[in-house]
Structures are given as C-alpha cells and as structure tokens.
Chain A
Amino acid sequence: MADVLRANHVAKSYSDKQVLGDINIRLADGELVCILGVSGVGKTTLFNVLSGLIRPDSGSVELADGEPSFRDITGETGHLSYMLQKDMLLPHKTIQDNVALPLILSGVRKAEAREKARSYFGQFGLEGTEEKYPAQLSGGMRQRAALLRTWLCGNKVALLDEPFSALDTLTRTSVQEWYLKVMEEIRLSTLFITHDIDEAILLSDRIYIMKGRPAVISDEIIIETPKPRDRDYMLSEEFLAYKRRIREII
C-alpha cells in the first residue's frame, strides 16, 4: 500500500525542554496505526504538529497528493481530521447538526449538509438520535457521533487522540468492536493515540512505541492477525505474546 502521510524528522521543544526528538512515522492508505506510549510522553504534541496546530522546530509533515507526489503540509490546519478524548459535541446543537458541522463550516448549505450527515446515521449505529441533543446520549453514543463528524471532515487521514479512554470499561469494549466493524467498511486511514496496550493490539495494523525524553519512536510492531478481530482475540496466545513483548519495551 502507498503511504498517505509521512512525518520526517519532526522535533519540537517548549522553552528549553525538548519534547519531541527526531520522530519519523508513516501511514499507508487504509491502515490503522497506533502510537502507544505512557501519559505525558508527548503524543498529543505530536498530533498537534501533524494536524498543523503547532509548527515543529524542524522536520516536515507530508500528505499524499495524487501519487507519487507529496505535498508539504507542515503548520497547515484543515488537512487531517481530528478527534479527541472528549467528544466535543456542541451542547446547543442537535446530533445531526453537530455531525454536519464540518460540512457547514466548509460552506455546504445547511439542508444539504444535514441530509448527507443523516445518510450515515444507520451505518454508525446512530438511528433515532438525529434530533436529540448531546446531553441526551450516553458516552458511547456520543463518541460514535464524534467519529461520524470526524469522518465527515472528508480528509484522507484521521487522527484520533485517545478517543475511547474516557468511557467505562464495558462500554469501551463494545465501542471498540463497533469501531473495528465500521473501519472495515469505511477504510479511513487512521493514526490512533493510546496508552492502553490492549486497545492498541486489538485495533491496529501496526504499533509505534513512543518513549524517552525527548520522545522518539523506539519500536515498530506489526500485528499480523487479520482483521476484524473480536474480543475473544484478546484471550488468545498470540495476543498475549504481543502484549508481553510491548510491556518489555515500554
């Protein structure tokens, strides 16, 4: 598969403290790659650099722009879709209007944007929530809506920053399974931040381990098990072998 996103030699310091030191990552088309590291290692800083919210001190971010050429998007926002741990749904908008927000921001007429958003509600398991407000939905449903909004941003690559870590354990497992199923259908190239080893192994095609100060990508682990995987996979020998290996590295 061809790469859609590359980060080359990205480094970033705050005042005199270096947070990121020479980070290289790549993401192939349709791939789901996790960036795994302990809290505070600089994962979110890396995401802010990738999404263009922060400019790196050195290095570049490139996005595939019709093969084989790449376009430098360092420090430019709006090329990647971004999803956070908090669902960030606007409390004053109904679910359909929240989800349609990226379309409305880009200038699509409201009725048209709503209609397009609604056409995905079934696939994302959100039927019946169109006219509801976020406060009326459970945490799991809200993250589904947030993911649909991310998808409707319409970019080739999505960055998910610990999207399921605020959910309780039982909800999280079911949302993860749902997520794998949806991803099989929409095949959105995704970079996924997590500090949860189980989640990383369950969801990823590849895992980057991020550690150190300044943080670097110390290891890359390819999860060979074909997808979709279900929760029984988390009890298999294979899964445990990956888990053991990652725990030794981190």
Chain B
Amino acid sequence: MDTKKHNKNKSKFSDVLTPVIFIGAALVIWQCVSMSGIVPNYMLPSPVQMVQALIADFPLLMQHSRATLIEAGLGLVIGVALGFTAAAVMDMFPVARRGLYPILVITQTIPPVAIAPLLILWFSYGIAPKVVLVVLVSFFPLAVGLLEGFQSVDDDMVRLMRSMKATRWQIFWHVKVPAALGQFFSGLKIAVSYSIIGAVIAEWLGGFEGLGVYMTRVKKAYSYDKMFAVILLVSVLSLLLMGIVRLLQRKCMPWAYIDKDK
C-alpha cells in the first residue's frame, strides 16, 4: 500500500518535471542561438531580453491586459449564455438540431481574421466589435460540447425519470445539465484561449486599448523584444484562465474527482 502511494507520488513528480526540463532546454538553446549571433538580434531577441522588455513596460502592459481581459470576459459570458441556450434548444427540438447544426459548422469555417474588419466597420472602434468577435469564436465549442453532453444521457435514465413523473424541465435540470458538465468544461477551456486570441485579433485592426493595440504599436516601432514580451504575456494569460477553468471544474464536479479506493 505504502509503495503504491509512493509510486503514485513519484509519477506525479515526473509528470511535472518532464515538461519543465524540456521547456527549460528549449529556452537555453534559444538563448545560445541569440547570443551566438547566428540569427540577428533585432529579428530574434533572446529570452532574457524578452523578460527585460516585459519588466520595463509592465505597468503599461497591465493596463492593456485589463482592457483585453474585460473584452474576453464579457464575450465569454455572452458566449456561454448563447451556447447554453442554443444547445438546450437543439437538444429539445430535433428540428432545430437538424437545421441549426450545419449552420453552426459553416460559420466555424470562416476565419475570425476575415470577419474582424467587417465587425469594426459595423460597430466602430470601441469595445463592441471585440466583444462580438469573442462571442463568435467562443460560442461554437461551448454549444457543441453542451449539446453532445445533453445527448449523451442514457435513454433508460430518461424513461426512469418519466416513470417517476418528472417534467421535461426536471429531466433537463437533474439529469442532462450535470451529465453535460464535463463536456462543457472541455469546451470552456478551448473557448477561454480562443477568447483572448479573438480579442487580440480584433484589437489589431483598430482600437484604443488592449494587448493587440500595443502589439501593432511596438511592431511599427520595430521593437521586437517588446513584441515577444507581449506574445509571452498573451500565452501566460491564456494559461492562467485555463487554470481558473480547471479549478472551477473541480469545484463544480466533486464527484468526478473522488478517490474510488476510499
């Protein structure tokens, strides 16, 4: 028993250690390449320069991050609400499923970069086009995940609930929604990273604030170290949000994390 526990801890440790070593190695190689001068420094700054740029512009970057996060957050909330509604409607009405699902899939083949300029024409340079783009990119993974979750419910479970005289709404609430939570959170993890990317893309094409705006400015100034710093920041923010989603999932789905040996 003790050794088993020990092994488990050991494997967990190596789960963390392995990627850390690989990422560390990649950074060291990058640093060496930069310092050796094989690639001109202005084109590929070293990781150390990147971090220095990040620190130097930190207050400004935080201000832009705030704007981007607000856009992404607002878009996500609306995206979740719309995705949930669409999935519920498609689950309850087969006609809606047959009609809407192909449309949803087709909209996903349109690259966000292609519609962003249109959104700016329609909604001007404020926060609106950014939020709309985030809604568009986050809606799909959420709606599809939820719908699949709703549909995964065993027909016999529905029969049993009906024999207990459960209403449609009760079946939805007690059986379908909890059954879809796992899929919902998988969708949400994807949606969260899409949302930051979506907001940044919309900011590129025009705006007053946000990491995308900062990116276009430093690019025009040829400050590639700052460019890389903001790229780093964007991925850190995405990871952070995904971590929050993971925590939320643990909180909302305690039954999925129980130790079955106990």
Q: Which residues of A contact B (CB under 8 A)?
A: 48, 51-53, 77-78, 80-82, 84, 86, 88, 90-93, 101-102, 104-106, 133, 135-136, 153
**When chains A and B are docked, how far (Å) is the Cα of A78 from the Cα of B255?**
29
Q: Which of B159, B170, B255 contacts A135 (CB 8 A)?
A: B255
Asked whether B160 lies within 8 Å of A91 as measured between CB atoms, the reply is no
Asked whether B156 lies within 8 Å of A86 as measured between CB atoms, the reply is yes
Q: Which of B156, B166, B175, B253 contacts A84 (CB 8 A)?
A: B156
Asked whether A77 lies within 8 Å of B156 as measured between CB atoms, the reply is no
* A101-B164 contact given A84-B156, A92-B178, CB 8 Å threshold: yes
Number of B residues near A (Cβ < 8 Å) is: 22
**When chains A and B are docked, how far (Å) is the Cα of A215 from the Cα of B116?**
65
Asked whether A136 lies within 8 Å of B262 as measured between CB atoms, the reply is yes
**When chains A and B are docked, how far (Å) is the Cα of A164 from the Cα of B92?**
33
Asked whether B163 lies within 8 Å of A78 as measured between CB atoms, the reply is yes
Q: Which of B162, B165, B179, B258 contacts A133 (CB 8 A)?
A: B258
Asked whether A105 lies within 8 Å of B258 as measured between CB atoms, the reply is no
Asked whether A52 lies within 8 Å of B181 as measured between CB atoms, the reply is no
Q: Which residue of B lies closest to A80 (CB)?
A: B163
**When chains A and B are docked, how far (Å) is the Cα of A53 from the Cα of B178?**
24
The smallest C-beta distance from A69 to any residue of chain B, in angstroms, reads 22
Asked if B157 CB lies within 8 Å of chain A CBs, one says: yes
Contacting A at CB under 8 A, from B236-262, are: 253, 255, 258, 260, 262
The smallest C-beta distance from A74 to any residue of chain B, in angstroms, reads 15
A101 CB contacts on chain B under 8 angstroms = 164, 174
B156 CB contacts on chain A under 8 angstroms = 84, 86, 88
B170, B174, B253, B258: residue with the most chain A Cβ atoms closer than 10 Å: B174
Contacting A at CB under 8 A, from B143-184, are: 154, 156-157, 159-166, 170, 174-175, 178-179, 181
